[in-house]
């Protein structure tokens, strides 16, 4: 790559990192707002406490989460079909716990802004919602007998990771590895994200039907995101390498 090419890549990355990401920030705000006012946060006195709160949480997840058996069973063929068909969209904004919410929002914050800027706001919005819907639907199709509620933005965020991998394979990501005493280490996206996807694959293969974590939805979302970026952007539009003198090209929480 010539020096002019390096300078062009550097300018592109600086523009991407410095640009606002209103859709990403709005999605984070919506997820946080929905969680805080819902029963899962435990902050609202409306839902009571103890067993009453637990009952409210279960009813809340059944109403707004994906229940695979309802999508494939009688509910889908009766008056409940519209509601059941909408749950893969509503479930994207519902989270089961503070850890669930904060983990997902951290990933969206780190990887969403650059991906949004490269795709454009409208396309990124449709991409996020569409891939998230299909990821949860894919999990439901593979687990048609499960009546466990599935909630969370993991499928959509996994799609963002897949698109980020294609668009910014050389961007460096700060990772915390438990077997290295959680030391923050930087690795390129082409190494971190496929490793993450491999862990999801292994976990999905070991999970029983209706697991608490829908690893299969993560894999479906990741694959859809990578495929979407590949089809839409083409090989010539990738940011292949960030020059060493441009630290803005490194992505970190």
Contact yes or no for 185/245 (Cβ under 8 A): no
| CA 172 – CA 66 distance, rounded (Å) | 35
d(CA 167, CA 238): 5
d(CA 99, CA 83): 28
Active-site positions read 154, 218
Distance CA 1, CA 213 (A): 43
26: Cα separation from own chain's centroid: 14
Closest CA to 111 of 203, 242, 30, 16: 16
Residue located via tokens 């919506």: 30
Task: Calculate the alpha carbon distances from 197 to 94, 101, 185, 235, 242 in Å.
Answer: 23, 20, 19, 21, 24
User: Which residues touch 232 (CB under 8 Å, ≥6 apart)?
Assistant: 119, 123
CB contact burial 25-55 (16+ within 10 A = b; e otherwise)? eebbeebbebbeebbbbeeeeebeeeeebee
């Amino acid at each position: 790559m010539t020096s002019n090419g390096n300078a062009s890549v550097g300018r592109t990355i600086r523009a991407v990192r410095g640009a606002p990401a209103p859709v990403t920030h709005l999605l984070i705000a919506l997820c946080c707002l929905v969680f805080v006012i819902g029963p899962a946060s435990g902050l609202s006195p409306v839902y009571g406490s103890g067993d009453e709160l637990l009952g409210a949480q279960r009813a809340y997840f059944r109403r707004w989460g994906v229940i695979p058996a309802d999508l494939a069973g009688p509910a889908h063929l009766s008056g409940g079909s519209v509601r059941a068909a909408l749950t893969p969209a509503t479930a994207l904004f519902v989270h089961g716990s503070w850890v669930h919410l904060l983990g997902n929002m951290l990933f969206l914050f780190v990887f969403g802004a650059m991906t949004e800027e490269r795709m454009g706001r409208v396309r990124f919005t449709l991409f996020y919602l569409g891939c998230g819907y299909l990821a949860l639907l894919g999990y439901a199709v593979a687990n048609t007998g499960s009546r466990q509620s599935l909630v969370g933005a993991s499928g959509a965020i996994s799609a963002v990771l897949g698109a980020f991998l294609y668009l910014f394979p050389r961007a460096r990501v700060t990772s915390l590895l438990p077997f290295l005493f959680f030391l923050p280490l930087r690795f390129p996206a082409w190494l971190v994200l496929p490793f993450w996807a491999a862990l999801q694959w292994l976990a999905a293969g070991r999970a029983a039907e209706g697991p608490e974590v829908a690893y299969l939805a993560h894999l479906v979302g990741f694959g859809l995101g990578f495929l979407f970026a590949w089809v839409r952007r083409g090989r010539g539009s990738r940011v292949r390498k960030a020059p060493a003198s441009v630290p803005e090209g490194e992505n970190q929480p």
